[in-house]
Amino acid sequence: MGWGDILLVIVLIGALVFAGNMFYEEYYNITSQAESYIADNSKSLEGLTTQSKQFYNNMRFSEKEIGYNFADECDDLKKENVRKAFSILDARTIVSFSENADIEGISILCSKIAPKAEDEGHFVAGEGGPTKILNASVFYIIKEAQIELYRNEKCETPNIALHEILHALGFDHNSNEKSILYPITSCEQEIDDDLINSINALYKIESLPDLAITKVDLNKTGRYLNFEIVLSNQGLQNYGESKLFVHGGGEQIGEFKIDEIEVGHSKIFSVTNLKISNDANIVSFEVESSVSRNEMNMNNNKVSINIQSQRE
């Protein structure tokens, strides 16, 4: 073999190496894209329905025990009527009320001066409602509420106090003239069964955290996965430390620590260049508590996404 033949072989080998590198780069750098996953929170707690109208859907305090406290200007008669109203609700619902300013609850203010009525012939006996609300997606959590009483009770049952306390629990007026939540108060009105059923439906749900995967964006380039995931606490209590596990191609490819997430808050977690099998077309994300799996809903802790190649 002469030098000319040797030179030709070298050139051919170089060409093959160059072509192989080109093929490698083209094959392994195919970018795959999956559509964004967005959770449907409307199905987070199926069966949670309230029959009575609220200011927002699913309004409640985080705990079944609700505290209350009186302002200094409240006289003994108003205090007695308010305590009687709380006792009635305590007896008819699964909620309990205690005169304790250290527990999240309702502040009772009292005044002898009522605001002017907007409609002729309609007197204002009091006002009430939530004053601090946290939107936790599934629930609107009442952090603080307040009622203000202007007139003394004229009925045997403390209807004015009951009316305002129910507002503080998140319930709006209704059109039933016999209901305690009819806009104009009278002594014939009662707490209708719909209100009792609604309170019990809301508070029968145990006060727990609920960590959910609410959104995922990802793409895969060759052997590497990039993703951004949103984790949200949709429950009623803070969620402690957790771990995020990522699986692809039938094996675990990542494990990440997630710090505490408070009620109604979300955290965005981003990862780039996570190595994954080139032929993997299913990527799964699962989040688990580092301490306990006891949470409100376990069905929203795992998401699997099918990656489709842009070339297909």
The Cα 54–Cα 166 span in angstroms is: 10
State pTM to two decimals.
0.80
pLDDT in tens, 91-120: 999 999 999 989 999 999 998 765 555 544
Euclidean distance between the first and the last CA atom of the chain, given in angstroms as a whole number:
48
Nearest to 171 by CA among 49, 45, 59, 48: 59
pLDDT digits (tens, 9 = 90+) for 43-59: 556 556 677 899 998 99
In whole angstroms, how far apart are CA 229 and each of 78, 213, 309?
52, 7, 20
Q: What is the pLDDT of residues 211-224, one digit of tens each?
A: 999 999 998 888 89
Selected residue with higher pLDDT from 255 and 39: 255
pLDDT score at 142: 95
Highest average pLDDT, of 65-74, 148-157, 182-191, comes from 65-74
Q: Which superfamily does 28-40+209-309 belong to?
A: Immunoglobulins (2.60.40.10)
pLDDT at 33 over 60: no
Please give the pLDDT value at position 160.
93
Q: How confident is the model at residue 22 (pLDDT cuts 50, 70, 90)?
A: very low
Rg (CA), the chain: 31
| Average predicted confidence (pLDDT) for the chain | 83
DSSP string across the chain: --HHHHHHHHHHHHHHHHHHHHHHHHHHT-EEE-PPEE--GGGTTTT---SS-BSSTTEE-SSSEEEEEE-TT--HHHHHHHHHHHHHHHHHSS-EEEE-TTSSEEEEEE-S-PPPPSSTT----EEEEEEEEEE-SS-EEEEEEEEEE-S---SSS-HHHHHHHHHHTTBPP-S-TTBTTSSS--TT-B--HHHHHHHHHHHTS-----EEEEEEEEEEETTEEEEEEEEEE-SSS-B--EEEEEEETTEEEEEEEE--B-TT-EEEEEEEEEE--TT--EEEEEEEESS----S-STTSEEEEE-EETT-
Domain ranges of the chain: 28-40+209-309, 59-203
Q: Residue 307: what pLDDT? A: 82
The letter for the amino acid at 142 is I
pLDDT score of 13 more than 60: no
pLDDT at 68 over 80: yes
pLDDT over threshold 70, residue 172: yes
Residues 249-291: tens digit of each pLDDT: 889 999 999 999 999 999 999 999 999 988 888 999 999 886 6
Locus of tokens 């108003």: 78
Q: Does domain 59-203 have CATH number 1.10.1040.10?
A: no
Which pLDDT belongs to residue 125? 54
